[in-house]
Amino acid sequence: MALYFEGLSKGVPNGGMAQFQEVMRQQLETSMHTELEKLLDTATGGDKEISKKDFEGFKKLFHRFLQVKGPSVDWPKIHRPPEDSIQPYDKIAARPLPDSLADSLNKLVVVKLNGGLGTSMGCKGPKSLISVRNENTFLDLTVQQIEHLNKKYNTDVPLVLMNSFNTDEDTKKILQKYTHHRVKIHTFNQSRYPRINKESLLPVATDIGMTGENADVWYPPGHGDIYASFYNSGLLDQLIAEGKEYIFVSNIDNLGATVDLNILHHLVSQPNGKRCEFIMEVTDKTRADVKGGTLIQYDDKLRLLEIAQVPKAHVDEFKSVTKFKIFNTNNLWISLGAIKRLQEQNALDMEIIVNPKTLDGGQNVIQLETAVGAAIKSFDNALGINVPRSRFLPVKTVSDLLLVMSNLYSLEAGSLTMSQKREFPTTPHVKLGSSFTKVQEYQTRFESIPDMLELDHLTVSGDVTFGKQVSLKGTVIIIANHGDRIDIPAGTILENKIVSGNLRILDH
């Protein structure tokens, strides 16, 4: 934001700079409020009330955006967290569980972040409705996991989906299929915020509608919006009234994010005065995770540091696996009562993420977002738990999808676990090329998913197809040159092989 004012304030004497910038801020804020009121005037009925609440949140975010004067962190003030603020999972798991876990489970709500579309994998509609294993979608697996808990322990753990305006309608249609499952399912919507013209810093939208020329002028403002939208929906108060105390929040595409009874027991068994209000699951960083947010100690508080907040001179240091050894999985356990208190006190402090976009017509816009984990510093007695890597199994690409569909994992009651037949617990590195980007293309290239139990590394590039019952072991690199095609016949075993050129492999 400071750069914007610098461009406008050339020629202003230094003494008047601060005053000039303050006047500019006030003018921008007044103009924004005027435009938002015009947009509200185009809304009717219930839409108007919902939009009014959304815009109140947006105004607060925009106000804070205008106040930002530089980097949100002062690098010399960053310290490693004290040892007791990030507990090893083994220490948490070593405590014996009580005979009855029902009391603890009945205080829990599972919340899945369900605002994303499947466009990055070439799919239309909500990402949660993509089939990932045995025709089961992300949502199917989530429902199966919670239903299994409720049946096994005779409990009532509900599922809450935080939808966005992009996913709400399609998700609600599909929820009818779970009517007879032993899981209560609730939904609420993320806020809908207006994208901002990068030059004028005013909304691009001309009315409150979402069709025609207004189709791409709105956005869901990141998962940090969960606190306000959950509170505004009335569902937070309803769940507290039902005796619920904690939510377990995770991305719906993280197949490792299942309810962990050891972490839950640790939460609910703390003495009242020292109740932990926020737990962030972190795991050891590998070279594939160097951009992931990490926990630091800053101003005597545990805080999430994201790469976007790091000054350019320190980005390599941030990516270092030796200095910053862990990263945030976005599996979070949060006190419902604390969310209510902080929301009502307007005391939740999350750094603003400024996300630049270019609309289809070429217009440059920005959208202001926040991340759910960034609020950790606002909660009392916050804690990190260093969990096994198995609790972080996100499916962001078709390469990830190949892994979770393979025999590397076994599926039971909606949960994926690494096969006991694999001799070492690390996940293979899989990199499928641009011919595999979309799920439909990927499905046509594999007659069946290869045996990957002994695979370390797979790279596939170009026009490549796989027959049935192919087995991949060690390091396998398959590269079809431009205009060439490689067919891997059924039953082929590839072990530590490089295959390239225009070639049909005939030897098994």
Other CB atoms within a 10 A radius of the CB of residue 451 amount to 16
* CA 118 to the chain's CA centroid: 13
Can you state the percent helix, strand and coil of the chain, rounding each to 5?
Answer: 35, 25, 35
CA atoms of 292 and 154, how far apart (whole Å): 38
CA atoms of 111 and 185, how far apart (whole Å): 10
Pair of tokens at residue 330: 């976005």
Residue 222 labeled ligand binder: yes
Residues belonging to the chain: 508
Catalytic (active-site) positions: 396
Find the DSSP H helices in 42-98.
45-67, 89-93
CA atoms of 129 and 116, how far apart (whole Å): 11
CA atoms of 83 and 5, how far apart (whole Å): 42
Helix axes 45-67, 226-233, angle to 10 degrees: 150
pLDDT tens, N- to C-terminus, the chain (508 residues): 544 554 555 555 555 667 878 888 999 999 999 999 999 999 988 888 899 999 999 999 999 999 876 666 888 889 888 888 999 999 999 999 998 899 999 999 999 999 999 888 888 899 999 999 999 999 999 999 999 999 999 999 999 999 999 999 999 999 999 999 999 999 999 999 999 999 999 999 999 988 877 778 999 999 999 999 999 999 999 999 999 999 999 999 999 999 999 999 999 988 777 889 999 999 998 877 888 899 999 988 899 998 888 888 888 888 888 888 899 999 999 999 999 999 999 999 898 989 899 998 889 999 999 999 999 999 999 999 999 999 999 999 999 999 999 999 999 999 999 999 999 888 999 999 999 989 999 999 999 999 999 999 999 999 999 999 999 999 999 999 888 899 999 999 999 999 987 544 434 3
Residue 457 labeled ligand binder: no
Tell me, yes or no, if the pTM score tops 0.85.
yes
Helix axes 45-67, 14-41, angle to 10 degrees: 170
CA atoms of 394 and 257, how far apart (whole Å): 9
Residue 253 labeled ligand binder: yes
Q: Is 313 helix (H, G, I), strand (E, B) or coil?
A: helix
